[in-house]
Amino acid sequence: MRLSGLGIYALFYLVFLYAPIVLLPIFAFNDATIIAFPLTGFTTHWFAELWTNTALHSAVGNSLQIAVTAAVLATLLGMCAARAGAQHNFPGKGAIIGFIMLPLVLPEIIIAVSLLVILVQIMGLQLSNWTVIGAHVLICTPFSIAILNGAFANLDPSLEEAGLDLGESRWSAFRLITLPLVMPGIISSLLISFTISLDEFIIAFFLTGSNPTMPVYIWSLNKDFDALPVVMALGTILVALSIALLTIAEYFRRRGIARAGLKDTGGFL
């Protein structure tokens, strides 16, 4: 690779992007409660502490439950919207899809506040995991649509029509022909929605019930400096997990593109 001035700049930018993440494992294995250089020694103590922390376990369990449900629901809604958007024409299409994509550019605190107002202040409901799930589906759906749009737009509609002409019902034509073709998109949408929901803090902070989610629990450790290395250990595991999940998502996305016989243009969004 020829390194121009621009290339060097881009490399520095990557270093800037990765600076915090590189530090994470360093301090997770560092044998000191104070997070600073110089390093004092190697320990796996912080990971062991994670193992015995029951409050953390329940928060993680809670978050997983929310993230899985939100990912499934958001992907279902995203499939509806992406299919309608990519393969059908109807009046007001741009406006309707634009409205569904709106949470992508709204500050999350606005979504959190508005749902808190309507659910608690006006309808008098109790906050629970479901209130968080409801909001997370709302913010994950636009991402799901963005991913699935590609999958549906690349799909040749005549394939499904051929299925219909050959006597399949509408549903089985979809299930047998379209679904396998967009499956890579669905998987990457599920994974990305899952990751977003798992990581989302401010909405969960406003809408969580008596059981905190994992980010809300991490937030509660903020004032507790002794807990910081444990957070680093947790973060290391999370980063490793996200990278694994994203690599899988990227793999499926590329396979989808290859399956549709297209050139790779890259990127999730």
37: left (phi over 0), alpha (psi -120 to 50) or beta: beta
Give whichever of 111 and 186 is closer to other proteins, judged by the CB atom.
111
Closest CA to 184 of 160, 157, 150, 159: 150
127 binds other proteins, rule: CB under 8 A? no
Q: Which stretch binds other proteins (CB under 8 A): 41-49, 51-59, 181-189, 212-220?
A: 212-220
Binder of other proteins out of 56, 59, 70, 111 (CB under 8 A):
111
116 binds other proteins, rule: CB under 8 A? yes
Tell me which residues in 148-187 interact with other proteins (CB under 8 A): none
| Cβ-contact 251, 180 below 8 angstroms | no
Determine the Cα angle at 67 with ends 217 and 199, to 5°: 50
204 binds other proteins, rule: CB under 8 A? no
Binder of other proteins out of 107, 169, 175, 176 (CB under 8 A):
107
CA distance 188 to 175: 18
Binder of other proteins out of 32, 55, 117, 248 (CB under 8 A):
117
Q: Which stretch binds other proteins (CB under 8 A): 1-9, 50-58, 64-72, 177-185?
A: 1-9
Q: Which stretch binds other proteins (CB under 8 A): 20-28, 41-49, 50-58, 176-184?
A: 20-28
Binder of other proteins out of 71, 100, 147, 207 (CB under 8 A):
100
Q: In which element (H, E) is residue 134 found?
A: helix 129-153
Give whichever of 73 and 181 is closer to other proteins, judged by the CB atom.
73
Q: What is the CA radius of gyration of the chain?
A: 22
Q: Which residues, at least 6 apart from 150, have a Cβ–Cβ distance to it below 8 Å?
A: 185, 256, 257
- Please name every residue paired with 30 in a beta bridge, in sequence order, or none if there are none: 42
242 binds other proteins, rule: CB under 8 A? yes
Binder of other proteins out of 64, 127, 201, 209 (CB under 8 A):
201
Q: Quick one: DSSP state of residue 105?
A: T
